């Protein structure tokens, strides 16, 4: 059974901690064989 994950984060600031943590989680899921769809957050004005 293929695991599918929708990964999204709320902040699109440069060097966002949320984005860094999500990237680590996504990498682990990919290494475990998951299929990932990553959606970036909206840009702040």
Contact 9, 42 (CB under 8 A): no
Note the pLDDT of residue 17. 86
Q: What is the pLDDT along the chain (45 residues), one digit of tens a residue?
A: 788 999 887 766 777 888 889 899 999 999 999 999 988 766 555
DSSP structural state of residue 10? S
Note the pLDDT of residue 24. 94
d(CA 24, CA 8): 13
Note the pLDDT of residue 35. 95
pTM of the model: 0.71
Note the pLDDT of residue 43. 58
**Domain chopping of the chain, boundaries:** 4-39
| Beta-bridge mates of residue 4 | 35
Nearest to 3 by CA among 34, 26, 29: 34
The values of phi and psi at residue 8, to 5°, are -140, 155
């Amino acid at each position: 059974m293929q695991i599918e994950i929708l990964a999204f984060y709320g902040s699109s600031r440069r060097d966002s901690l949320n984005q860094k943590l999500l990237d680590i989680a996504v990498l682990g899921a990919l290494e475990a064989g998951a299929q990932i769809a990553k959606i970036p957050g909206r840009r702040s004005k």
